Amino acid sequence: MLKTRIIPTLLFKNYGLVKGVGFNSWRRVGSALPSIKVYNTRQVDELILVDIAATQEERTIDYEEIDTLADECFMPMTVGGGIKDIDDVRNILRAGADKVSINSGAIQNPNLISTVASFFGSQCVVVSIDVKKNGNGGYEVYSCSGSKSEGIHPVYWAKEVEKKGAGEILLTSIDRDGTMTGYDIELISSITDAVSIPVIASGGAGNYEHMVEAILIGKASAVAAASIFHFTQQTPLEAKQYLASKGIRTRL
C-alpha cells in the first residue's frame, strides 16, 4: 500500500507567492525560494508550484525561475501554469520539475494529456481539476484560475483524463480554497469512486483532522494544502505524525 503524501502548494504570481480565499489570491505571503528552503527541512513529500497568472496573461511560465527554484528543491516538484503544448512541458521538465500540472490546456486540448503521457510517461502528468458549486448545488469544472465555467461535471472530466493517460488528479474545491474549514469530502469521494488513479485533495485544510477525513472518508491518496502552513503554526511533519497516530501510513 502506498504511503499518504503531504504536499504544500505554492501559488506564484508576479515574482512572489500569494494566497487568498476562493481563488481570489491577493495576499502576499513571501517569496518562493525561502519557502522551498524551509520545506526542505520539514520532511515534505512533494511540492506543487503553480504560476496562477500565466494562463490569463497568455504567456509561458518563467523557465529560468523554475530552474533556479529546482536547484534548491530537494523533493519532487510539480510545476504548473500556462502549459498549452508539449514544448511547454519539455521546457519545464528540463528546468528541473519532476511533474507538470495541466489544467486549462488539458480542457482546451484533451489530447495534450495523452501526448505528454506518451512522451514522458503518465507518472509525470498531473491534471488539475478546479471545481465550484453552481446555483443548483451541482458541481462544475472551472478553468483559467477559476474564472471560467466549462459546464463539465468533474466526475465526467476525471474519467476522461484518466482515459487520456493522466497519472494523478489534483482536485481543488474553489469554494473551500483558503477557508480552512475542511475539504469537500463529498466532492473528493465522488472522484475517488470514479477513477483508479491517485487523487490529491486540495482546498480547505485547516487542521490535521481535516486531512484525516479527506484520506479515510474521501479516499484521497494525498492531501495538498497552503493556508494551513502559511498562516498557522501547524507543519507538514506534525501533520504526518498526526496521520500516523490515526493509523495512516506516511513517510516518517
2: DSSP letter: P
Q: Please list the helix, strand and coil fractions of the chain in percent, rounded to the nearest 5, in that order.
A: 35, 25, 40
Burial profile 44-80: b = 16 or more Cβ within 10 angstroms, e = fewer: bbbbbbbbbbbbeeeebbbbebbebbbeebebbbbbb
pLDDT score, position 151:
93
Please report, for residues 110, 152, 197, 199, 244, the alpha-carbon distance to residue 160 in angstroms, rounded to integers and kept in the order given: 8, 11, 12, 14, 33
pLDDT at 1: 61
pTM of the full predicted structure? 0.95
Residue 47 three-state SS:
strand
Record the cell numbers describing residue 119, joined without a space. 512522451
Q: Residues in the chain with pLDDT < 50?
A: none
Tell me which DSSP letter residue 124 carries.
Answer: G
All three cell numbers of 100, joined, read: 507538470
List, in order of start, the domains of the chain with CATH numbers: 5-245 (3.20.20.70)
As given in the structure block, the three cell numbers for residue 232 are 498557522
Residues 6+ apart with CB under 8 A from 211: 6, 183, 205, 223, 225, 239, 242, 243
CA 41 to chain centre: 21
Closest of 98, 99, 108 to residue 58, by C-alpha = 108
State percent of the chain over pLDDT 70.
99
142, β-bridge pairs: 130, 149
Q: Count of H helices and E strands in the chain?
A: 10, 12
Name the grid cell of 251. Answer: 513517510
Q: What is the pLDDT of residues 104-161, one digit of tens each?
A: 999 999 999 999 999 999 999 999 999 999 988 899 999 998 899 999 999 999 999 9
Yes or no: say if 195 and 169 are a contact pair by the CB < 8 Å rule.
yes
Confidence at residue 20, expressed as pLDDT on a 0 to 100 scale: 79
Tell me the one-letter amino acid at 59: R
